[in-house]
């Protein structure tokens, strides 16, 4: 086995490997009463590749792969924003897991965290991942997913929320500093290129939310009232029939209140892993840009 820095030419194989590993994890951890595990949808597949290229370009020292005679064996893709380190992807090929490859990859990625005072990542329920994160000094907080069909008759009138653009960067960076003590650096431009953006800036507070075709992706606000308005507007602007918001911690009563009022279904899903900080209340992280 060889561990080396990730290159742009690794990205296609890395996307395949990550999709294989997620499918295998989904099948292994599927609840008897739950839906069958499915492979990553087309939109997410393209977005995964573009995101990995973006991170290899901006965070080369944080992106590592392992390979053996059969090809790519695993990957760890991480980033550093101000003094926060985050992990975007961490996968070992199914069939080669539990043999120490993950540890070697994470050790490589963690060299990118030297000098950081905080860390954040969104974890699956794989016990091996959780063990690795705990051993790296992360605290684990269980998270929920709120999802379900959109009942448009339940949507309230929302004020002070508008479409955003990259001209709102100063506002978004100010909100980032207040909610997670670190900006997103080049990631706002990346997310904004492919995803709708909502912004709120009023006497009630400031905030923003990026959307996916089926839900909220990243939501940050300086007050619960602004976060609540952004979440309702995210539901209203979702084009599909269903909405989902993930990485919800027990601290986020305001979000659970919206989920219940919108008649979404709550279930437990994964963990938020943090180092040097407590779970934020009005910040719902992106699984990839935290």
Site residues, ligand COA (CB under 6 A): 21, 25, 90-92, 97-103, 123-124, 126-129, 131-132, 135
DSSP string, 46-107: HHHHHHHHHHHHH-GGGEEEEEETTEEEEEEEEEEETTEEEEEEEEE-TTSTTSSHHHHHHH
Q: How far is the CB of 129 from ligand COA (least distance, A)?
A: 4
What is the rounded CA–CA span in Å between residue 15 and residue 52?
9
Q: How far is the CB of 169 from ligand COA (least distance, A)?
A: 29
Q: How far is the CB of 137 from ligand COA (least distance, A)?
A: 14
Q: How far is the CB of 150 from ligand COA (least distance, A)?
A: 28
Judged by beta carbon, residue 131 or residue 267, the one nearer ligand COA is: 131
Q: How far is the CB of 109 from ligand COA (least distance, A)?
A: 11
Under DSSP, is residue 286 helix (H, G, I), strand (E, B) or coil?
Answer: coil
What is the rounded CA–CA span in Å between residue 120 and residue 184?
12
Q: How far is the CB of 181 from ligand COA (least distance, A)?
A: 22
Judged by beta carbon, residue 77 or residue 230, the one nearer ligand COA is: 77
Helix 169-180 crosses helix 187-194 at what angle (to 10 degrees)?
A: 120
Judged by beta carbon, residue 85 or residue 90, the one nearer ligand COA is: 90
Judged by beta carbon, residue 188 or residue 246, the one nearer ligand COA is: 246
β-bridge pairing 118-123 and 84-92? parallel
Comparing CA positions, the residue from 123, 166, 158, 144 lying closest to residue 233 is 158
Judged by beta carbon, residue 99 or residue 267, the one nearer ligand COA is: 99
Judged by beta carbon, residue 271 or residue 283, the one nearer ligand COA is: 271
Q: How far is the CB of 93 from ligand COA (least distance, A)?
A: 8
Judged by beta carbon, residue 67 or residue 224, the one nearer ligand COA is: 67
The residue number with the shortest CB distance to ligand COA is 102
- Strand (E) or helix (H) holding 189: helix 187-194
Tell me the residue ranges of DSSP E strands in the chain.
2-5, 63-68, 71-81, 84-92, 118-123, 139-149, 161-163, 197-202, 205-212, 215-221, 242-248, 265-275, 283-284
State the number of CA atoms in the 13 A half-sphere of 84 facing the CB.
Answer: 23
Q: What angle do CA 100, 141, 233 make, to 5 degrees?
A: 120
Q: Is the dihedral of CA 153, 154, 160, 162 positive or negative?
A: negative
Q: How far is the CB of 214 from ligand COA (least distance, A)?
A: 21
Phi and psi at 219, nearest 5°, equal -135, 130
Judged by beta carbon, residue 99 or residue 177, the one nearer ligand COA is: 99
């Amino acid at each position: 086995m060889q561990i080396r820095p990730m290159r742009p030419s690794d990205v296609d194989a890395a996307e395949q490997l990550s999709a294989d590993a997620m499918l295998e994890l989904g099948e292994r951890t599927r609840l008897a009463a739950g839906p069958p595990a499915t492979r990553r949808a087309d939109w997410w597949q393209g977005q995964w590749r573009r995101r990995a290229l973006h991170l290899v370009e901006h965070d080369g020292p944080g992106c590592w792969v392992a390979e053996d005679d059969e090809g790519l064996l695993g990957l760890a893709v991480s980033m550093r924003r101000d003094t926060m380190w985050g992990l975007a992807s961490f996968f070992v090929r199914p069939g080669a897991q539990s043999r120490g490859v993950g540890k070697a990859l994470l050790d490589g990625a963690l060299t990118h965290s030297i000098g950081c005072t905080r860390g954040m990542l969104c974890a699956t329920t794989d016990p091996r991942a959780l063990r690795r994160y705990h051993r790296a000094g992360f605290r684990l907080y269980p998270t929920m997913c709120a999802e379900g069909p959109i009942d448009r008759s339940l949507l309230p009138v929302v004020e002070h929320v508008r479409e955003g653009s990259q001209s709102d960067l100063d506002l978004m960076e100010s909100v980032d500093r207040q909610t997670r003590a670190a900006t997103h650096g080049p990631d706002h431009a990346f997310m904004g290129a492919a995803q709708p953006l909502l912004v709120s800036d009023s006497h009630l507070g400031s905030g923003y939310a990026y959307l996916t075709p089926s839900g909220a992706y990243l939501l940050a606000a300086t007050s619960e009232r602004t976060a609540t308005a952004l979440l309702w507007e995210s539901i209203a602007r979702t084009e599909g029939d269903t909405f989902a918001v993930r990485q919800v911690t027990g601290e986020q009563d305001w979000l659970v209140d919206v989920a219940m009022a919108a008649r979404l279904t709550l279930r437990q899903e994964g963990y938020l892993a943090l180092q040097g900080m407590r779970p934020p209340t009005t910040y719902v992280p992106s699984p990839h840009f935290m």
